[in-house]
Amino acid sequence: MPQATRKDTQRIRQFRKVCEILDSYDRDSSKLIPILQQVQHEYRYLPEEVLTFIATSLGLPPARVYGVATFYAHFALEPKGKHIIRLCDGTACHVKKSIPILEALRERLALSEGKSTTPDMLFTVETVSCLGACGLAPVVVLDDEVHGQMTPDAAVALLNDIISKEGKE
Ligand code: FES
């Protein structure tokens, strides 16, 4: 199949799924946030053209939809990796040495402050503010699973486990 045609097919598929999500909310503009949550769940981020499509479908100004998507930290406008590692850097976790954990994770994955996702789109590492589990500090959330009292070695071991499950090494 020629490249352009394959891209077109992908695009149609992409919007078909968005249409299904919009329909499941009766294209009700007051349901914008749950719609965005579900679209992000599907794609792992909110592509710009999808945001525009959602705005048009709901009869909302695109600026309003972008405003909501950028206001909530939960929404991502850039593609993220298959596995998302969130390191808490709230006060309790910071005091209990969250930064060495972050450094160890970044070193293991060759990431940096300006580069949070691996080129193979397998991992994204990001910091978040207090996760409400300060008693477990320092906390790492890996694919929505909470791991408390982490150390740099334990966090890297979690990573290594996934890397070997993914058959990457
Ligand atoms: S500061 Fe990390 S969970 Fe509260």
Q: What is the pLDDT of residues 11-58, one digit of tens each?
A: 666 689 999 999 999 999 999 999 999 999 888 889 999 999 999 999
How many domains does the chain divide into? 2
- What does the pLDDT read at residue 74? 81
**Domain contains 20:** yes
Query: Measured from the CA of 133, which atom of ligand 1 is nearest?
Result: 3
Query: Measured from the CA of 137, which atom of ligand 1 is nearest?
Result: 2
Parent domain of 117: 83-165
- 11 and 59 in a single domain? The answer is yes
Give the residue among 36, 41, 127 at the shortest CA–CA distance from 90: 127
Q: Which two tokens stand for residue 153?
A: 């070695």
**Domain contains 77:** no
Pocket of ligand 1 (CB under 6 A): 88, 90-93, 130-134, 137, 139
Q: What is the pLDDT of residues 113-124, one digit of tens each?
A: 889 999 999 999
Q: What are phi and psi of 127, to 5 degrees?
A: -105, 150
- What does the pLDDT read at residue 6? 65
Query: Which of 87, 88, 149 gets mutated to test ligand 1 (max ligand atoms within 8 A of its CB)?
Result: 88
Cα distance between residue 7 and residue 125, in whole Å = 29
- 95 and 153 in a single domain? The answer is yes
Give the mean pLDDT of the chain: 90
